[in-house]
């Protein structure tokens, strides 16, 4: 029995800006394409990028043997602020013999011949037409090779673009350090703020792919026309300082506080992180707080997700901390409940479940 021919590939994003990006500046996007099919294949990349200018390092059409990898670099220059998307289509090309039926002249065809034969009544000759004994044309099978495009996958890369000429210098500092946040002017009506502090060393590891989950969830909610939420991500190493606290405070005031509509009077602020899976089931660790707001969070998860997520309550390691205390200070005199929440990475990988989680707090 012949083995089924499979044309397939994987696309890995190796490098992407973690921060907000600025209009008119150029940024590098590095990707890898791996042939995961069982035949050598030819691929072509097609891009869609409204409001972006893109340059690829080489021709987007190439051949790959089985398990061979191709590295490509893309230069992206945003032209407008706001939410932007670079869509990459990976298309497999293969030749296919196409059969068609055409009519061609019959090689045995004899044209009609006129002959003069006497008329039996008066003896006068009149023209007579000889009837052909073969058709003028015959049907013939012909084959020709045609290039067929096989759409294998589509990968969307999301960017949050800001016009820094219209932002205060404190925001530029936040971006230069590597901060990311919800776009300005998106008319967000949410009761949820999510802040992710991460170790910048993770950017150079496979764990760095998880650092963009807030941005990805934000874009997916917008695509689905669901309610958006406020978010901030910020890199912090072991040397967390008063300067970091001030940068976070300025970012909170610019990206969240200044955007809050007057009708939103009570909010949850999730100080989030992520760890490796604890078990097979996606899990959330919730830190106990003195106001017992964690109980409200548990109730919402139970009502909205129906035991799809395992909930773990922690009153030690994940319950408070310096970052938690600084967020309490930043939000004092505001009706904001700060909660420490840790996601397991098998929850972050389950985009459908993660979207449902964020939806229940809108």
pLDDT for the residue numbered 289: 83
Average pLDDT, the chain: 84
- Pull the structure tokens for residue 51: 């409001």
| CATH class entry, domain 1-99+148-163 | mainly beta
| pLDDT-wise least confident of 63-72, 113-122, 321-330, 347-356 | 113-122
- The confidence band for 273, taking pLDDT boundaries of 50, 70 and 90, is confident
Instruction: Give all strands (DSSP E) within the chain, no chain letters.
Output: 9-15, 21-22, 27-35, 41-48, 52-56, 61-64, 69-78, 82-105, 114-118, 125-129, 137-162, 180-181, 192-198, 230-235, 267-275, 283-287, 310-314, 336-344
Using CA atoms, how far residue 341 sits from 212, 219, 270, 303, 338, in Å, is: 17, 21, 6, 18, 10
Contacts of 288 (CB under 8 A, 6+ apart): 294, 313, 314, 315, 319
Q: Does 297 score more than 80 pLDDT?
A: yes
pLDDT for the residue numbered 205: 52
At residue 31, φ and ψ (nearest 5 deg) are -130, 160
Q: What is the pLDDT of residues 307-333, one digit of tens each?
A: 899 999 988 877 788 888 899 999 988
- Rounded mean pLDDT, 51-74: 92
For residues 245 and 97, the model is more confident at 245
Q: Does 114 score more than 70 pLDDT?
A: no
- Rounded mean pLDDT, 190-217: 74
CA 216: distance to chain centroid? 7
Q: Does 207 score more than 50 pLDDT?
A: no
For residues 200 and 204, give the distance between their C-alpha atoms in angstroms, rounded to a whole number.
Answer: 8
For residues 284 and 311, give the distance between their C-alpha atoms in angstroms, rounded to a whole number.
Answer: 5
- Rounded mean pLDDT, 265-280: 88
Domain boundaries, the chain: 1-99+148-163, 167-362
pTM of the predicted model as reported, rounded to 2 decimal places:
0.75
Q: How many other C-beta atoms lie within 10 A of the C-beta of residue 206?
A: 8
Q: What is the pLDDT of residues 41-56, one digit of tens each?
A: 999 999 999 899 999 8
Beta partners for residue 8, in sequence order:
none
Strands 114-118 and 125-129: antiparallel
Q: How many other C-beta atoms lie within 10 A of the C-beta of residue 111?
A: 7
| pLDDT-wise least confident of 78-92, 141-155, 194-208, 348-362 | 194-208
At residue 233, φ and ψ (nearest 5 deg) are -120, 145
pLDDT for the residue numbered 120: 53
- Rounded mean pLDDT, 78-104: 87
CATH topology of domain 167-362: Rossmann fold (3.40.50)
- Rounded mean pLDDT, 330-348: 89
pLDDT for the residue numbered 145: 80
Instruction: Give, as one character, the DSSP assignment of residue 4.
Output: P
């Amino acid at each position: 029995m012949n083995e089924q021919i499979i044309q397939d590939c994987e696309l890995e994003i190796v490098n992407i800006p973690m921060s907000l990006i600025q209009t008119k500046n150029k940024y590098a996007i590095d990707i890898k394409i791996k042939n995961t099919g069982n035949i050598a294949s030819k691929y072509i990349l097609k891009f869609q990028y409204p409001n972006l200018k893109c340059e690829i390092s080489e021709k987007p059409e190439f051949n790959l043997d089985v398990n061979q990898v191709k590295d490509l670099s893309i230069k992206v220059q945003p032209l407008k602020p706001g939410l932007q998307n670079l869509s990459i289509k990976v298309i497999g090309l293969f030749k296919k013999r196409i059969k068609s039926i055409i009519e061609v002249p019959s090689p045995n065809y004899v044209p009609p011949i006129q002959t003069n034969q006497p008329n039996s009544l008066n003896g006068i000759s009149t023209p007579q037409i000889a009837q052909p004994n073969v058709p003028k044309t015959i049907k013939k099978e012909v084959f020709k090779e045609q290039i067929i495009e096989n759409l294998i996958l589509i990968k969307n890369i999301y960017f949050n673009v800001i016009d820094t000429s219209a932002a205060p210098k404190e925001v530029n500092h936040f971006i230069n350090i590597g901060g990311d946040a919800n776009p300005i002017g998106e008319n967000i009506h949410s009761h949820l703020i999510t802040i992710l502090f991460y170790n910048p060393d993770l950017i150079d590891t496979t764990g760095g792919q998880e650092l963009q989950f807030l941005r990805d969830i934000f874009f997916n909610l917008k695509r689905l026309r669901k309610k958006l939420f406020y978010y901030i991500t910020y890199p912090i190493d072991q040397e967390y300082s008063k300067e970091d606290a001030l940068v976070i405070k300025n970012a909170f005031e610019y990206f969240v506080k200044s955007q809050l509509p007057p009708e939103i009077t009570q909010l949850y602020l999730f100080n989030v992180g992520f760890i490796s899976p604890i078990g097979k089931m996606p899990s959330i660790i919730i830190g106990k707080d003195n106001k017992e707001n964690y109980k409200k969070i548990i109730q919402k998860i139970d009502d909205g997700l129906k035991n799809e997520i395992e909930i773990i309550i922690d009153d030690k390691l994940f319950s408070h901390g310096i970052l938690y205390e600084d967020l309490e200070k930043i939000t004092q005199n505001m009706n904001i409940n700060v909660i420490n929440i840790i996601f397991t990475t098998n929850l972050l990988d389950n985009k459908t479940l993660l979207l449902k989680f964020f939806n229940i707090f809108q």
